[in-house]
Amino acid sequence: MKKRAPATPDLSRRSFLASLGLGGLGLLLPQPAQAAKTSTDQELVTLHDLSRCVGCGACVAACREANAAKFPEPLRPFPAMVPATSKPEDWSTRRSVTDRLTPYNWLYIQTARGQYQGQPFEVHIPRRCMHCQNPPCANLCPWGAAARESNGIVRIDETICLGGAKCKTVCPWEIPMRQSGVGLYLKLLPRFAGNGVMFKCDRCAGRVAQGQKPACIEACPYEVQDMGPRPDMVAKAHALARNMGGYIYGETENGGTNSLYVSPVPFDILDAAVTTGPGKPDLAKAPDKMADETRMAYAALLAPVAGFVAGALRLGSRLSGGEDKSGANKPQPNKENQP
Protein backbone atom coordinates (compact mmCIF):
# COMPACT_ATOMS: atom_id res chain seq x y z
CA MET A 1 0.00 0.00 0.00
CA LYS A 2 1.25 3.45 -0.81
CA LYS A 3 2.46 5.68 2.03
CA ARG A 4 2.02 9.41 1.91
CA ALA A 5 5.18 11.26 1.02
CA PRO A 6 6.32 14.10 3.30
CA ALA A 7 4.64 17.35 2.36
CA THR A 8 6.67 19.78 0.29
CA PRO A 9 7.33 22.99 2.26
CA ASP A 10 5.09 25.82 1.07
CA LEU A 11 6.65 28.82 -0.59
CA SER A 12 4.67 31.76 0.82
CA ARG A 13 3.76 34.18 -1.92
CA ARG A 14 3.11 36.87 0.69
CA SER A 15 6.58 36.48 2.22
CA PHE A 16 8.16 36.42 -1.21
CA LEU A 17 6.44 39.66 -2.23
CA ALA A 18 7.15 41.30 1.09
CA SER A 19 10.85 40.67 0.58
CA LEU A 20 10.54 42.62 -2.68
CA GLY A 21 8.58 45.42 -1.06
CA LEU A 22 5.43 44.31 -2.89
CA GLY A 23 3.36 42.99 0.01
CA GLY A 24 0.50 45.31 -0.85
CA LEU A 25 -0.11 43.35 -4.03
CA GLY A 26 -1.43 40.45 -1.97
CA LEU A 27 -4.97 41.71 -2.45
CA LEU A 28 -4.64 41.11 -6.18
CA LEU A 29 -3.10 37.66 -6.08
CA PRO A 30 -4.94 34.66 -7.46
CA GLN A 31 -6.04 32.33 -4.70
CA PRO A 32 -3.28 30.30 -3.05
CA ALA A 33 -3.00 26.65 -3.92
CA GLN A 34 -3.13 25.46 -0.30
CA ALA A 35 -6.65 25.39 1.09
CA ALA A 36 -7.85 26.91 4.33
CA LYS A 37 -9.35 24.31 6.64
CA THR A 38 -12.12 25.37 8.96
CA SER A 39 -15.01 23.61 10.61
CA THR A 40 -17.39 25.05 8.01
CA ASP A 41 -15.24 24.89 4.88
CA GLN A 42 -13.30 21.63 4.93
CA GLU A 43 -11.10 20.15 2.25
CA LEU A 44 -13.25 17.48 0.63
CA VAL A 45 -12.11 14.25 -1.02
CA THR A 46 -13.95 11.90 -3.33
CA LEU A 47 -13.19 8.22 -2.79
CA HIS A 48 -13.74 5.62 -5.55
CA ASP A 49 -14.11 1.95 -4.66
CA LEU A 50 -13.23 0.42 -8.01
CA SER A 51 -14.25 -3.05 -6.86
CA ARG A 52 -17.87 -1.83 -7.02
CA CYS A 53 -17.85 -0.11 -10.44
CA VAL A 54 -19.51 -2.05 -13.28
CA GLY A 55 -19.02 0.65 -15.91
CA CYS A 56 -22.75 1.33 -16.30
CA GLY A 57 -22.18 4.99 -17.20
CA ALA A 58 -24.85 6.42 -14.88
CA CYS A 59 -22.28 8.86 -13.49
CA VAL A 60 -21.33 10.04 -16.99
CA ALA A 61 -24.96 10.70 -17.91
CA ALA A 62 -25.61 12.51 -14.63
CA CYS A 63 -22.53 14.69 -15.07
CA ARG A 64 -23.57 15.72 -18.57
CA GLU A 65 -27.12 16.54 -17.47
CA ALA A 66 -26.05 18.49 -14.38
CA ASN A 67 -23.47 20.56 -16.26
CA ALA A 68 -25.24 21.07 -19.59
CA ALA A 69 -25.87 24.75 -18.83
CA LYS A 70 -22.12 25.29 -18.49
CA PHE A 71 -21.19 23.72 -21.82
CA PRO A 72 -19.79 26.12 -24.47
CA GLU A 73 -21.83 27.46 -27.40
CA PRO A 74 -19.21 28.59 -29.94
CA LEU A 75 -19.55 31.38 -32.49
CA ARG A 76 -18.59 30.70 -36.08
CA PRO A 77 -16.63 31.23 -38.20
CA PHE A 78 -13.63 30.90 -35.89
CA PRO A 79 -11.07 33.72 -36.27
CA ALA A 80 -7.99 32.80 -38.28
CA MET A 81 -5.17 32.52 -35.77
CA VAL A 82 -1.66 33.97 -35.86
CA PRO A 83 0.56 32.05 -36.27
CA ALA A 84 -1.31 29.93 -38.81
CA THR A 85 -0.11 26.77 -37.05
CA SER A 86 -2.54 27.59 -34.20
CA LYS A 87 -5.61 25.61 -35.12
CA PRO A 88 -9.08 25.84 -33.56
CA GLU A 89 -10.31 22.98 -31.40
CA ASP A 90 -13.99 22.30 -31.98
CA TRP A 91 -15.91 19.64 -30.08
CA SER A 92 -19.31 21.25 -30.54
CA THR A 93 -20.18 18.91 -33.43
CA ARG A 94 -19.09 15.87 -31.38
CA ARG A 95 -20.98 16.52 -28.17
CA SER A 96 -22.16 12.91 -27.93
CA VAL A 97 -18.61 11.57 -27.41
CA THR A 98 -18.43 9.84 -24.00
CA ASP A 99 -15.35 7.61 -24.29
CA ARG A 100 -12.90 10.39 -23.41
CA LEU A 101 -12.74 13.83 -21.82
CA THR A 102 -13.96 16.74 -23.94
CA PRO A 103 -15.32 20.25 -23.25
CA TYR A 104 -18.76 18.56 -23.27
CA ASN A 105 -17.84 15.42 -21.35
CA TRP A 106 -16.07 16.04 -18.04
CA LEU A 107 -16.23 12.45 -16.80
CA TYR A 108 -15.78 9.14 -18.59
CA ILE A 109 -15.30 5.48 -17.70
CA GLN A 110 -11.86 4.05 -18.39
CA THR A 111 -11.72 0.24 -18.55
CA ALA A 112 -8.72 -2.01 -17.87
CA ARG A 113 -8.73 -5.72 -18.74
CA GLY A 114 -6.00 -8.26 -18.22
CA GLN A 115 -4.53 -10.91 -15.93
CA TYR A 116 -3.40 -10.48 -12.33
CA GLN A 117 -2.12 -13.31 -10.14
CA GLY A 118 -3.27 -15.80 -12.74
CA GLN A 119 -6.85 -14.50 -12.77
CA PRO A 120 -8.60 -12.32 -15.35
CA PHE A 121 -9.72 -8.87 -14.25
CA GLU A 122 -11.92 -6.09 -15.58
CA VAL A 123 -11.71 -2.82 -13.67
CA HIS A 124 -13.74 0.28 -14.54
CA ILE A 125 -12.33 3.66 -13.49
CA PRO A 126 -14.36 6.92 -13.50
CA ARG A 127 -11.90 9.55 -14.74
CA ARG A 128 -12.13 13.32 -14.40
CA CYS A 129 -10.07 16.15 -12.87
CA MET A 130 -8.09 14.92 -9.85
CA HIS A 131 -8.48 18.26 -7.97
CA CYS A 132 -4.88 18.37 -6.77
CA GLN A 133 -3.94 19.77 -3.37
CA ASN A 134 -1.22 21.95 -4.89
CA PRO A 135 -2.43 22.22 -8.50
CA PRO A 136 0.07 23.39 -11.11
CA CYS A 137 -2.85 24.56 -13.28
CA ALA A 138 -3.86 27.10 -10.61
CA ASN A 139 -0.30 28.05 -9.70
CA LEU A 140 0.96 28.56 -13.24
CA CYS A 141 -1.99 29.98 -15.20
CA PRO A 142 -0.67 33.32 -16.55
CA TRP A 143 -4.19 34.80 -16.59
CA GLY A 144 -5.16 33.81 -13.06
CA ALA A 145 -8.14 31.95 -14.53
CA ALA A 146 -7.60 28.67 -12.65
CA ALA A 147 -8.02 28.60 -8.89
CA ARG A 148 -8.24 26.18 -5.99
CA GLU A 149 -10.98 26.77 -3.46
CA SER A 150 -10.65 26.08 0.25
CA ASN A 151 -12.88 23.00 -0.04
CA GLY A 152 -10.37 21.44 -2.43
CA ILE A 153 -12.22 22.06 -5.70
CA VAL A 154 -10.00 23.29 -8.56
CA ARG A 155 -11.89 25.41 -11.07
CA ILE A 156 -11.46 27.42 -14.26
CA ASP A 157 -13.23 30.79 -14.50
CA GLU A 158 -14.71 30.68 -18.01
CA THR A 159 -15.33 34.45 -17.97
CA ILE A 160 -11.60 35.25 -18.03
CA CYS A 161 -9.96 32.09 -19.44
CA LEU A 162 -8.30 32.83 -22.78
CA GLY A 163 -7.75 29.20 -23.72
CA GLY A 164 -3.97 29.34 -23.71
CA ALA A 165 -3.88 25.70 -22.49
CA LYS A 166 -1.10 26.28 -19.95
CA CYS A 167 -3.29 24.37 -17.48
CA LYS A 168 -3.33 21.35 -19.79
CA THR A 169 0.40 21.54 -20.41
CA VAL A 170 1.32 21.51 -16.71
CA CYS A 171 -1.35 19.01 -15.62
CA PRO A 172 0.23 15.56 -15.08
CA TRP A 173 -2.84 13.99 -16.72
CA GLU A 174 -3.51 16.73 -19.34
CA ILE A 175 -7.10 16.94 -18.11
CA PRO A 176 -8.44 20.37 -19.28
CA MET A 177 -9.84 20.46 -22.81
CA ARG A 178 -10.24 23.50 -25.08
CA GLN A 179 -13.23 24.69 -27.10
CA SER A 180 -12.59 27.43 -29.64
CA GLY A 181 -15.06 30.13 -30.57
CA VAL A 182 -16.08 30.99 -27.01
CA GLY A 183 -14.80 33.25 -24.28
CA LEU A 184 -13.18 36.59 -23.76
CA TYR A 185 -10.51 36.13 -26.43
CA LEU A 186 -13.16 36.85 -29.09
CA LYS A 187 -13.60 40.36 -27.65
CA LEU A 188 -9.90 41.09 -27.04
CA LEU A 189 -7.41 39.74 -29.57
CA PRO A 190 -9.27 37.05 -31.51
CA ARG A 191 -6.35 36.40 -33.86
CA PHE A 192 -3.60 36.39 -31.25
CA ALA A 193 -5.11 35.31 -27.93
CA GLY A 194 -5.52 31.80 -26.53
CA ASN A 195 -8.14 30.49 -28.94
CA GLY A 196 -11.06 29.61 -26.67
CA VAL A 197 -11.79 28.44 -23.12
CA MET A 198 -10.51 25.42 -21.20
CA PHE A 199 -13.09 23.13 -19.60
CA LYS A 200 -12.97 20.36 -17.00
CA CYS A 201 -14.83 18.93 -14.01
CA ASP A 202 -15.58 21.48 -11.27
CA ARG A 203 -16.94 18.73 -8.99
CA CYS A 204 -20.43 20.24 -9.20
CA ALA A 205 -19.23 23.21 -7.16
CA GLY A 206 -22.66 24.83 -7.02
CA ARG A 207 -24.24 21.67 -5.60
CA VAL A 208 -21.41 21.19 -3.11
CA ALA A 209 -21.76 24.82 -1.96
CA GLN A 210 -25.39 24.04 -1.11
CA GLY A 211 -24.45 20.97 0.91
CA GLN A 212 -25.31 18.49 -1.84
CA LYS A 213 -23.11 15.81 -3.38
CA PRO A 214 -21.85 15.95 -6.97
CA ALA A 215 -24.31 14.56 -9.50
CA CYS A 216 -22.06 11.60 -10.36
CA ILE A 217 -22.05 10.40 -6.74
CA GLU A 218 -25.80 10.73 -6.30
CA ALA A 219 -26.57 8.93 -9.57
CA CYS A 220 -24.36 5.87 -9.02
CA PRO A 221 -26.54 2.80 -8.27
CA TYR A 222 -23.57 0.85 -6.85
CA GLU A 223 -22.21 3.44 -4.38
CA VAL A 224 -18.82 3.47 -6.08
CA GLN A 225 -18.04 6.98 -4.85
CA ASP A 226 -18.18 8.76 -1.52
CA MET A 227 -17.19 12.28 -0.53
CA GLY A 228 -16.20 13.77 2.81
CA PRO A 229 -13.50 15.62 4.78
CA ARG A 230 -10.00 14.63 3.71
CA PRO A 231 -8.87 12.93 6.97
CA ASP A 232 -12.00 10.77 6.99
CA MET A 233 -11.72 9.75 3.34
CA VAL A 234 -7.98 9.00 3.57
CA ALA A 235 -8.62 6.77 6.59
CA LYS A 236 -11.51 5.10 4.79
CA ALA A 237 -9.36 4.52 1.69
CA HIS A 238 -6.64 2.82 3.74
CA ALA A 239 -9.17 0.67 5.58
CA LEU A 240 -10.78 -0.33 2.29
CA ALA A 241 -7.41 -1.16 0.76
CA ARG A 242 -6.50 -3.31 3.76
CA ASN A 243 -9.78 -5.18 3.63
CA MET A 244 -9.52 -6.02 -0.06
CA GLY A 245 -5.73 -6.41 -0.16
CA GLY A 246 -5.82 -3.49 -2.58
CA TYR A 247 -3.99 -0.38 -3.65
CA ILE A 248 -4.51 3.39 -3.47
CA TYR A 249 -4.05 5.96 -6.21
CA GLY A 250 -4.26 9.73 -5.79
CA GLU A 251 -3.06 10.15 -2.23
CA THR A 252 0.52 11.05 -3.15
CA GLU A 253 0.37 11.50 -6.94
CA ASN A 254 1.37 15.03 -7.97
CA GLY A 255 1.99 15.79 -4.30
CA GLY A 256 -1.51 14.69 -3.28
CA THR A 257 -4.96 14.99 -4.83
CA ASN A 258 -8.53 15.15 -3.59
CA SER A 259 -9.56 12.16 -5.71
CA LEU A 260 -8.69 8.76 -4.25
CA TYR A 261 -9.05 5.42 -6.02
CA VAL A 262 -8.88 2.03 -4.32
CA SER A 263 -8.41 -1.01 -6.56
CA PRO A 264 -7.90 -4.75 -6.00
CA VAL A 265 -5.40 -4.66 -8.90
CA PRO A 266 -2.13 -2.64 -8.68
CA PHE A 267 -2.30 0.64 -10.55
CA ASP A 268 0.84 -0.01 -12.58
CA ILE A 269 -0.92 -3.05 -14.03
CA LEU A 270 -4.07 -1.01 -14.65
CA ASP A 271 -1.99 1.72 -16.28
CA ALA A 272 -0.49 -0.79 -18.70
CA ALA A 273 -3.97 -2.11 -19.53
CA VAL A 274 -5.90 1.12 -20.14
CA THR A 275 -6.03 3.06 -23.39
CA THR A 276 -4.32 6.43 -22.97
CA GLY A 277 -3.81 9.44 -25.20
CA PRO A 278 -5.57 12.78 -25.82
CA GLY A 279 -8.47 13.05 -23.40
CA LYS A 280 -7.64 9.65 -21.90
CA PRO A 281 -5.34 10.16 -18.87
CA ASP A 282 -2.96 7.52 -17.64
CA LEU A 283 -2.60 6.01 -14.16
CA ALA A 284 1.13 6.59 -13.79
CA LYS A 285 2.66 7.63 -10.46
CA ALA A 286 2.78 11.33 -11.44
CA PRO A 287 5.54 13.00 -9.38
CA ASP A 288 4.79 16.36 -7.76
CA LYS A 289 5.17 18.97 -10.49
CA MET A 290 5.21 21.84 -8.00
CA ALA A 291 8.07 20.31 -6.01
CA ASP A 292 10.48 21.67 -8.60
CA GLU A 293 12.08 24.82 -7.16
CA THR A 294 12.10 26.49 -10.56
CA ARG A 295 8.34 26.06 -10.90
CA MET A 296 7.78 27.28 -7.35
CA ALA A 297 9.87 30.37 -8.00
CA TYR A 298 8.06 30.94 -11.29
CA ALA A 299 4.69 30.63 -9.54
CA ALA A 300 5.76 33.20 -6.93
CA LEU A 301 7.01 35.60 -9.59
CA LEU A 302 3.90 35.05 -11.69
CA ALA A 303 1.46 35.64 -8.83
CA PRO A 304 1.33 39.47 -8.87
CA VAL A 305 1.24 39.59 -12.66
CA ALA A 306 -1.52 36.98 -12.83
CA GLY A 307 -3.40 38.87 -10.14
CA PHE A 308 -3.34 42.10 -12.11
CA VAL A 309 -4.24 40.31 -15.34
CA ALA A 310 -7.11 38.40 -13.72
CA GLY A 311 -8.52 41.62 -12.29
CA ALA A 312 -8.25 43.37 -15.65
CA LEU A 313 -9.83 40.44 -17.47
CA ARG A 314 -12.72 40.25 -15.01
CA LEU A 315 -13.33 43.96 -15.47
CA GLY A 316 -13.15 43.55 -19.24
CA SER A 317 -15.53 40.61 -19.09
CA ARG A 318 -18.07 42.58 -17.06
CA LEU A 319 -17.83 45.61 -19.36
CA SER A 320 -18.29 43.39 -22.41
CA GLY A 321 -21.32 41.69 -20.90
CA GLY A 322 -19.62 38.39 -20.17
CA GLU A 323 -21.32 36.31 -17.50
CA ASP A 324 -20.68 33.05 -15.71
CA LYS A 325 -23.46 30.81 -17.04
CA SER A 326 -23.42 28.85 -13.81
CA GLY A 327 -24.28 31.95 -11.75
CA ALA A 328 -23.49 31.18 -8.13
CA ASN A 329 -20.93 28.61 -9.26
CA LYS A 330 -18.33 31.27 -10.05
CA PRO A 331 -15.02 30.51 -8.28
CA GLN A 332 -14.57 32.46 -5.07
CA PRO A 333 -11.18 33.57 -3.71
CA ASN A 334 -9.54 31.51 -1.02
CA LYS A 335 -9.12 33.88 1.93
CA GLU A 336 -6.13 32.12 3.46
CA ASN A 337 -3.21 34.54 3.95
CA GLN A 338 -5.38 37.49 2.89
CA PRO A 339 -5.28 40.68 5.01
**Confidence band of 319 (pLDDT split at 50, 70, 90):** low
pLDDT exceeds cutoff 50 at 17: no
How do residues 233-243 score in pLDDT, each as one tens digit? 999 999 999 99
Domain ranges of the chain: 28-329
What confidence score (pLDDT) does residue 84 get?
81
Q: pTM, whole model, 2 decimals? A: 0.80
How do residues 277-302 score in pLDDT, each as one tens digit? 999 999 999 999 898 756 655 555 55
Alpha helices in 152-289 (DSSP H): 166-170, 205-209, 215-219, 230-244, 267-273
CA dihedral 274→218→155→123, nearest 10 degrees, is: -10
Cβ atoms 185, 227 nearer than 8 A:
no
Using the CB atoms, write b or e for 267-304: b if 16+ within 10 Å. Answer: bebbeebbeeeebbbbbeebebbbeeeebbeebbebbb
Average pLDDT over residues 86-97: 94
Other CB atoms closer than 10 Å to residue 117's CB: what's the count? Answer: 8
Q: For 271, phi and psi rounded to 5 degrees?
A: -60, -40
pLDDT exceeds cutoff 60 at 9: no
What confidence score (pLDDT) does residue 4 get?
41
Which residues have a Cβ under 8 Å from the Cβ of 310 and sit 6 or more positions away?
28, 30, 143, 144, 145, 157, 160
The whole-chain average pLDDT of the chain stands at 82
Of the listed ranges 61-65, 83-87, 177-181, 220-224, the least confidently predicted one is 83-87
Tell me how far CA of residue 71 lies from CA of 48, 50, 148, 237, in angstroms: 25, 28, 21, 33
CATH match for 28-329 among 3.90.1150.10, 3.30.930.10, 2.40.30.10, 3.30.70.20: 3.30.70.20
